[in-house]
Amino acid sequence: MKKKVLFIQPTIYDDAGKLIKKRRLYFVGLAYPLLAALTPPDWECEICLETIEDIPFDTDAALIACGGMGHAANRGREIAARFKSLGKTVIAGGPMFSLVPEIAHSFFDSVVIGDAEEVWAELLRDFEHNALKRSYQKKLTSLSTPLPRYDLILHKRIGDFLPVQAGRGCPHRCTFCSIYCMYRGVYLKRDIAGVMRDIRHVKSLGFKRFLLLDDNIAADPGYLEALCGEIADLGMEWMSQCALTVAAKPELLRLMARSGCSTLSFGLESVDRANLEQAGKDWCHPSEYPELLARVREAGIEIASEMMVGMDNDTPQTLDDTVEFIEHSGIIMPKFYIMTPIPGTDFYNEMRDAGRLTEEDVCTYTPTRAVIRHPVMSTEEITGRFWDMYNQVYSLRRIFRRCILHGRFWRSPAKYLFYMMINLYYRYQIKRKIGPIIM
């Protein structure tokens, strides 16, 4: 037996049932480079990113490790079935299989539930001794990781930045969120020295930008302040995501900007207060959004946003209001998702128990198609309005206005032309009924 593991990151299907393939993948996951770093040195590791490359079904790897985020789990099960027919041992992991492991058991030999760091060595030993367990699960109580095996992805068609992890989890308790479902309000953060080791390594590889992975990088303001102080000396650009509450700390925002933070992504979800209360985000006040977002921009940080369509208090008027909000908010990269009941979350359980789900097969759920019975709109109307909103927001006029026609453009023309290219690429996807989920 050759001691080799092949990690596979599946792609997803578009609404026409075709696998989404791209020439380049900008946002590359960190799970597989981390697991490869945790793999004993007498094992060989290989990573396949199906979005930009073909799966080597003729691999000589003895063990196949396949992930699945959201509806990529559906493709993951297909891949597993193919490999098992070839006599391979296949294991599953990732958010979807962790939340509902029962959808994986008939396709995979074993399932890693939750974070894999504490069980990976045990799993490999069991595999070597033909004693693989049906599932592996051990709660992560601290976050300390080796230097990721970036070398396994550098030769691939990826973007001009690499991911670096700072923390996992979030103290907020949003009922629809898979992060809350998995961590239940716990926020784990790495030692700053470890984070800086990885960032410096990324810089040594020739990269000038990095993506700071964290479910809420501002969850611990003191930690973020100390981290920014270290990053500032490197002269690098970085991006991350956090709650909009960071805008209540203008000095921290300025420190983030000085350290090289160029873009922050915020889950705004809705411009309707009742929607946010239902989703467990009663600490958010849409009436404050314009002022808070303006503070972020004034600090020199651009904004990406995520908002949901099809929440219970949505009406055609509130969705029109959402489009207008995007128009006047200065958000440079807006995204929408249809309110999707992620299996295992409190929201999913609520919708299931109320008999409001229109489909039972959770592997068919996507963020571009409604599957919840809504109080005032049909699932078809919600899905149609979702695409209408995307087409409005990504019209050429609106792209040009938010990327070029503002005073910030002349501070860094190259940066805003880059944002415009991203917007145009999103538009290209939207016109083909592909939500700009994979970048």
Of 372, 393, 414, the last residue of a domain is 393
Residue 439 has pLDDT above 70, yes or no: no
Helix 221-231 vs helix 192-204: crossing angle, to nearest 10 = 30
The CATH number of the domain holding residue 108 is 3.40.50.280
Q: What is the dihedral of CA 283, 217, 68, 437, to 10 degrees?
A: 80
| Confidence grade of residue 363 (pLDDT, cut at 50, 70, 90) | confident
> Which range is least confidently modeled, 269-278, 369-378, 409-418?
409-418
Give the whole-number percent of the chain exceeding pLDDT 90.
79
- pLDDT score, position 148: 98
Q: Which amino acid is at 420?
A: M
Region 201-224: what's the mean pLDDT? Answer: 96
Which has the closest alpha carbon to 76: 156, 12, 152? 12
C-alpha to C-alpha distance for 339 and 24, rounded to whole angstroms: 28
Q: Based on the fold, state whether residues 92 and 211 are members of the same structural domain.
A: no
CA dihedral 339, 345, 351, 353 (to 10 degrees): 170
CB within 8 A of 2, min separation 6: which ones?
44, 60, 61, 62
* Count: domains in the chain: 2
- Count CA atoms within 13 Å of residue 23 on its CB side: 1
Claim to verify: residue 124 and residue 222 sit in the same structural domain: no
Q: What is the dihedral of CA 360, 365, 367, 371, to 10 degrees?
A: -30
Report residue 344's pLDDT band, with 50, 70 and 90 as the boundaries: confident
Residue 159 and residue 425 in contact, taking contact as beta carbons nearer than 8 Å: no
Helix (H) / strand (E) containing 212: strand 209-213
pLDDT recorded at residue 15: 79
436: in domain = no
Same domain? For 309 and 184 the reply is yes
Is 155 a member of any domain?
Answer: no
Structural domain contains residue 89: yes
CA 410 from centre of chain:
31
Same domain, 292 and 174: yes
Residues 59 and 167 in one domain: no
| Upper half-sphere CA count for residue 117 (Cβ side, 13 Å) | 16
Same domain for 192 and 106? no
CB 105 within 8 A of CB 62: no
Residue 105 has pLDDT above 70, yes or no: yes
Residue 428 lies in a domain: no
Range of the domain at 84: 4-136
Spatial separation of the C-alpha atoms in residues 264 and 244, rounded to whole Å: 9
Nearest 5°: CA angle at 40, between 91 and 214?
A: 65
Given a cut of 90, whether residue 434 has pLDDT beyond it is: no
- Residue 195, domain CATH: 3.20.20.70
**253 and 363 fall within a common domain:** yes
Q: What's the CA gap between 434 and 332, in Å, rounded?
A: 19
Residue 404 lies in a domain: no
Q: What pLDDT score was predicted for residue 181?
A: 80
The model's pLDDT over 149-188, given as tens digits with 9 standing for 90+, comes to 999 999 999 999 999 999 999 988 898 888 888 888 889 9
Are residue 126 and residue 167 in the same domain, yes or no?
no
If asked whether residues 170 and 128 sit together in one domain, one would say no
Distance between CA 185 and CA 376 in Å, rounded? 33
pLDDT for 392-426, tens place per residue? Answer: 999 999 999 999 998 888 888 988 999 999 999 99
Residues 179 and 238 in one domain: yes
Flag whether 122 is in a domain: yes
> Which pLDDT tens digit goes with each residue over 17-34?
889 899 999 989 999 999
Is 345 found in the same domain as 261?
yes
CA-based angle 382:388:392, to the nearest 5? 145
Q: Do 54 and 129 fall within a single domain?
A: yes
Residue 330: inside a domain: yes
- Structural domain contains residue 153: no
Helices (H) and strands (E) in the chain, counts: 15, 14
